[in-house]
Amino acid sequence: MDKFNCPVAKKCSGCQLSNLSYEQQLEWKQKDVTGLLGNYGEVSRIIPMEPPCGYRCKVQAVFRSDRSGKIISGVYQSSRNGIVGIDRCMVNDPRADEIIVGIRELMKSFKIRPWDPGTDRGFIKHVLVRIGKNTGEILLTIVGASSMFPKKRDFTAALVKRFPSIKTVTFSVNRSPDFLTLGDHAEVLFGNGFIIDEICGKKFRISPQSFYQVNPVQAERLYDFAIKSAKLTKNDTLLDAYSGTGTIGIIASGHVKAVQGIEYNSAAVRDAVQNCRLNGIDRNVAFNRGDAGEYLRERAKNGVHFDAVIMDPARAGADKQFLRAMSVIKPERVVYISCNPVTLARDLRTLTKNYDVECIQPFDMFPFTRHVECVVSMSRKAE
């Protein structure tokens, strides 16, 4: 694929590698991962995203009036307290961009103004569009500066009529100066307040605040690879560490005797429990709320054993307490999913004292950006 000449690349700065062809981007990421992880084993060729455009199924857009009073929408620039106007972004699912442009046009028809941070007047701050890639269901969240949404029922009806693929519309109030924050409560204006998507044959509920992979197409490939790398058996007990909304544990549940998940975010745990019920698999899967390190330390103290661990921590990586407890529990197999090869390299220094690295597989989850995901599979060293 040739270079994609984005007209706002320099202003937006969201796609740091947009000046490179896709093949050059893959080489850049391959070199970056090899430089960080090559000491631990051979780094396999990065798995590309095909096609590399239109992969983002979670899209946010800020609204503002320009100097002439025209409503524009696009990407927020915190450094300039302004926005970069965008009608079509190469990494967004085009359905999201179409809805955002449509909202802009309806705002004009309904005489609804975007919020102005200088005067604290106007109403709409930003919108969030979430798309179920495999189901086609669309969730739209409108974020306003106050609870007084003018003509909200008529506006919602016109929006859904124009875009019948929208399954639900919610409204959230954000009174803070921050543009991209969702309020604590979402009022359902249309539908049931959530959508369903499918990944690896399982169903997942997506609400405005839910964590769900931005690129579910590539995530499906990554999860499938990670679960196969764990070499799970029907007699295994699996620990899904940093389990989020339960995606990995639920997908893996049919391969093992039992799954225990641990996640700090209470809202994510609630989503995980709902996702279990949605798939009818709550008998051999349980999700726990707490710190992963403390959870594993307590299990180690009580002599609990896990045959395999699949861990998917945030960019900061695993905490030291968790890694120390791993050396006590000593699962036979560990699969580490990482969105930050720098902290992955740091954690591998500890893990490789007890584990042999079998495979290092990068995935291009976010084309045109510097971000890269990696799956590292390990087996316990013979004692």
CA 155 to chain centre: 29
Token duo for residue 69: 């009073």
Number of H helices, E strands in the chain: 10, 16
Catalytic residue among 6, 57, 339, 374: 339
The question of whether 339 is a catalytic residue gets the answer: yes
Closest CA to 140 of 195, 181, 178, 177: 195
Q: How many CA atoms lie within 13 A of 319 on its CB side?
A: 12
Place of tokens 């070499």: 231
Residues in contact with 85: Cβ distance below 8 Å, sequence separation at least 6, in sequence order: 8, 66, 72, 73, 74
Sign of the alpha-carbon dihedral angle for 196, 199, 200, 205:
negative
The residues pairing with 116 across neighbouring beta strands, listed in sequence order, are: 121
Catalytic residues: 339
